[in-house]
Structure 1
Amino acid sequence: MSENQNGNKMAWTTNLRVVATISVIFLHVSSEILYQFGHISTFIWWTGNIYDSLVRFCVPIFVMLTGVLMLSRTYELNDFLRKRFSRIVLPFLFWSIIYAIFAVNDKISGGSQMSFFAIIKWIIHQLLNGASYHLWYIYMIIGIYLFIPILSKWVQNATENEILYFIIIWIFTLVINQPILSEFRINIDLIYFSGFIGYVVLGYYLSIKSFAVSKRTIKVIAILLIIVGISITILGTYFLSHRKNHFVEYFYTNNTLNVLMVSIGVFMFFKNFEISNLRIIKAVNFISKYSYGIYLVHVLVLTFLKTFKINYGFINPILAIPVTTLLCLLISTLIIYSLNKLPYGKYIAG
């Protein structure tokens, strides 16, 4: 899932994947603060709110990259299901079982009496519903993968106007679900244009679209989109939470206009951004190679760090969140790298 950056026109996708990988760890370190609205200092909560808002693009970017890298290809159905799903599903099942075992251990340590069959039933329940909070993404992306062989044939044969038609209606479904506008929603079923599938098509479209402006202009527009979108996320989250007197995560959700704006901005910025430092390129390629496994294992690593009181609060959160993110990234990368060195390790490491 990674590309060599030397002479590769798609090197920006590698850079973007690594940014998204680091951002999702950063998000999970900072998000713990947000649910304590009203129970921690205003300074700490605002630190979490700002940091978390900065990286809300991570999941949409992952999905957009799926569109970039997969919709431009043609697939034989059997070959696609065998290769893609073995690479996604086997590591997913392995780490799901690991998380489920830890969950069982926590229940037993907490005083729950569980028979052998109760343990098996609990593990199965965890596998069906998600053994850890971050694994929802894998369930979602598997659903998208099932649709890729069909979607790829459509986008490759569709005109630009037809692709834009889909994207515009998808964006309309986001607009009409905004709190104020939702009152005027008419009873037309637009479910076929909703959800994460729009990010897949949008990523593909933006990757092939050439704009009649300079890279500098595109970067300026991208930065403006990022600033405006993040500002809406930060302020909107505060005002809603203050009004309800508890944390309200509406502006954090992936299918909101503010997150869409930031995601487009980040996507277009990195599409027109190049890294020339060879050491950075080497590090980026290395992390990108193991990014899927890093995503799968990083929550386990965060839990481990937390037992040593290394989280957002072990020092000033302004520093603690980036430091914890970096430690988690390094340990997660080392774990996945080591597992890949074992016989057949690549089938479980991710």
Structure 2
Amino acid sequence: MKERVYSMDAIRVLAMILVIIVHTKSNFFNSDVHFAVFAFFKVIGTVGVPLFVILTGYLMFDRNYKDNAYLQRYLSRNLFPLLISYEVWNVAWNILRYTHVAENPQKWSAIFKAAFFMGDTVSALWYLPMTIALYLGMPILSMACHNITSKPYQKVLLIALILSGTLIPSVAPLASLVGHNAQIHSVLRMNIFGASVWGESVWMIYLLSGYAIYKGLLKKFKASILILFGIVLPFSCMYAIEFTNHTVQNYDFILVVILSIATFELLTRTEKALSLHEKIRFLIVKISTFSFAVYMMHIFVGGAICRALEKAAGMQMPVGSAFHWGAGLILYAIYIVTIVLIVWFLVSILKKNTFIRRYVLLMK
């Protein structure tokens, strides 16, 4: 049995928190109330989904897909449960929408189309079709990466991927900063196993960067360099841009890509520190085990909490508007913790059913 890598659990928990922030920050802050805080969460929140995809590349890319026995296990343990989970949540989300705590119900015809991959989910569920596509292509991409050893071809492919995945998509947002509406987009689509979702080709970059980090290709960069040029500089630039009434918070924007990859690499270097703190390690592993459930439930749980605050305490959205920004931050932290605790409580009940545990909550 492989030894557990606790830094991967830490990354999964951080990504989970950032995804919660993406979908709930407007419940507490917006561009009119404590804008500096809202902009901060807007910038850091964008890193959440990329971290999940990089994690997939780190954990899943270097597998023995040539082995037919393993490939069969991969289908039954990884791909099929993910597909079943998507189909269940696709229906469950629309049922939950009738509570009107977070989203309005969609037409069931749209849900049917999404179920058969004939239409977009038009919701945060977009992440699952994209992941399913990545899992479908993972064995082919992995074997191609391991068997094509021509350095010139690898370099050409890498250049094409970087250009189409992030550099070209970054031109239009940058041009908008000087008032130019650049009609520029990448024509080359490098997400040969992807979905029609935000970012397109960039998901290949995130997936392959996870594998590169796994192989230790970024270890040559000192932590100080990664912090300065991979964290501080990209974050500062994007945060400053938010104050210009523009935004560049797209998954394929070059600074988002750099920030996401640098964050992941730095977190892999926390393994030794985590191994020395048993209580922190236990908490991280515990939360990590139901992080997928948090992703699936947080929008509706968070929405229900806000509706309860409106009715019971007479609070208006965004909640932070009634408080100093510091108090708003504390309340928001409590809000996020409460979401996680409620999901944990629900999971502790639901996981008693073997099917739900394995194929809906994706808990092994």
For normalisation by structure 2, the TM-score amounts to 0.77
Residue type matched to 1:90 in 2?
I
Partners of 1:154 and 1:18 lie apart in 2 by: 31
Q: Of residues 99, 104, 124 in structure 1, which corresponds to 2:112?
A: 124
Q: Is the 8 A contact 2:28 2:332 kept in 1?
A: no
Paired amino acid for 1:73 = R
Distance (whole Å) between structure 1 residues aligned to residue 361 and residue 253 of structure 2 = 33
Inter-partner Cα distance in structure 2 for 1:297 and 1:200:
25
- 1:196 alignment partner, SS class: helix
Q: Does 1:60 align with 2:50?
A: yes
**Cα-to-partner distance string for 1:50-95 (whole Å, 9 max, x where unaligned):** 1221232111111011111111002335543333222212222222
- 1:24-35 equivalences in 2 (<5 Å): 24-31=19-26
8 Å CA contact 1:99–1:131 kept in 2: the answer is: no
Q: Percent identity?
A: 21
Instruction: Flag structure 1 segments of 5+ consecutive residues without an equivalent.
Output: 113-117, 242-248
How large is the Cα RMSD of the aligned pairs? Answer: 3.2
Q: Aligned AA for 1:148?
A: M
SS in 1 for 2:62: coil
Shift in Å, 1:271: 1.3
Q: Give structure 2 stretches of 5+ with no counterpart.
A: 176-180, 192-200, 311-316
Check if 1:336 corresponds to 2:347: yes
User: Which string of whole-angstrom CA distances, capped at 9 and with x for unpartnered residues, describes residues 13-46 of structure 1?
Assistant: 2221111112211222214567x54xx23xx222
Which residue matches 1:260?
Answer: 257
Please point out which of 69, 79, 97 is paired with 1:103.
97
> Residues 340 and 266 from structure 1, CA distance in 2 versus in 1: closer, same or farther, beyond 3 angstroms?
same
**How far apart are 1:304 and its partner, in Å?**
1.2
CA shift digits 1:83-115 (9 cap, x unpaired): 3222212222222222111334549xx9x9xxx
Match of 1:313 in 2: 319
| Residue 13 of structure 2: aligned partner | 18
Amino acid at match of 1:205: A
Tell me the equivalent position of 1:171: 162
1:222 aligns with 2:208: no
Map of 1:245 onto structure 2:
none
Greater per-residue helix proportion: 1
TM-score computed with the length of structure 1 as normaliser:
0.79
What's the counterpart of residue 60 of structure 2? 70
* Residue type of the alignment partner of 2:79: F
Instruction: Kindly provide the amino acid, as one letter, of the partner of residue 337 in structure 1.
Output: S
State the distance in 1 between where 2:87 and 2:249 align.
28
The alpha carbon displacement at 1:137 in A equals 0.7
Instruction: Report if the CA contact (8 A) 2:57-2:211 is conserved.
Output: yes
**What is the Cα deviation at residue 189 of structure 1?**
4.0
Deviation string 1:251-278 (CA, Å, 9 cap, x unpaired) is 1111111111111221111111131210
Residue equivalent to 2:288: 288
Please tell me whether the aligned partners of residues 67 and 203 of structure 1 are also in contact (alpha carbons under 8 angstroms): yes
Distance 1:32 1:158, change over 3 A: farther
Structure 1 residues 145-200: Cα deviation after superposition (integer angstroms, max 9, x where no partner): 11111011122234495655544432222122222579697x98421262311210
Q: 159-168 vs 87-96, which deviates more?
A: 159-168
CA distance in 1, matches of 2:127, 2:308: 28
In 2, the alpha carbon distance for the partners of 1:327 and 1:189 equals: 44
Asked if the contact 2:9–2:285 (Cα under 8 Å) also holds between the matched residues in 1, the reply is yes
CA displacement, residues 211-267 of structure 1 (integer Å, 9 cap, x when unaligned): 574xxx6221221111111112212233143xxxxxxx4x11111111111112211
Work out the number of aligned pairs and report it: 320
CA distance in 1, matches of 2:7, 2:345: 24
Deviation of 1:130 after TM superposition, in Å, equals 5.9
